[in-house]
């Protein structure tokens, strides 16, 4: 496989982190461009992994001013070829109201509340 790849490692504290793998056959390090709504976004860094040849650490600080209700997608691509290497999609606010994951989270919270109330009821009726 002689292709540059960008593999996500984690998203923590608003920073998307990944590893950029650049095979020796590729040669030059690609210039990564981050875009949002087809507009370039700043806030990313690239640093070489001293222990692994051809591996670079990529970090992108998600700009808080771009976080809004709805779905936001940031695209990481090779500036020269335009090839998409990876992306980050965030959902927030009202768009989640009908999302099944949000519904599941609400159901879990309600179930926890019912369990606490049931346990409290059992303790109260058991001591009478």
Residue whose token pair is 């709504």:
37
Among 8-12, 24-28, 106-110, where is mean pLDDT lowest?
A: 24-28
Domain 5-93: CATH architecture, name and number where available = Sandwich (2.60)
The pLDDT tens digits for 40-59 are 999 999 999 999 999 999 99
- The domain limits of the chain are 5-93
- Check: pTM over 0.85? Answer yes or no: no
Instruction: Report the C-alpha gap between 110 and 114 in whole angstroms.
Output: 6
């Amino acid at each position: 496989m002689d292709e540059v790849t960008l593999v996500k490692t984690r998203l923590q504290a608003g920073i998307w982190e990944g590893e950029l793998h650049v095979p020796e056959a590729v040669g030059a390090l690609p210039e990564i461009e981050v875009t949002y709504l087809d507009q370039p976004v700043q806030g990313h860094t690239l640093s070489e992994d001293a222990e692994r040849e051809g591996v670079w650490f990529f970090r992108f600080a998600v700009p808080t001013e771009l976080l809004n209700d709805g779905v936001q997608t940031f695209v990481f691509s090779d500036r020269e070829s335009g090839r998409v290497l990876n992306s980050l999609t965030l959902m927030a606010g009202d768009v989640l109201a009908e999302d099944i994951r949000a519904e599941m989270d609400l159901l879990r919270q309600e179930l926890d509340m019912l369990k606490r109330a049931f346990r409290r009821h059992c303790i109260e009726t058991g001591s009478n």
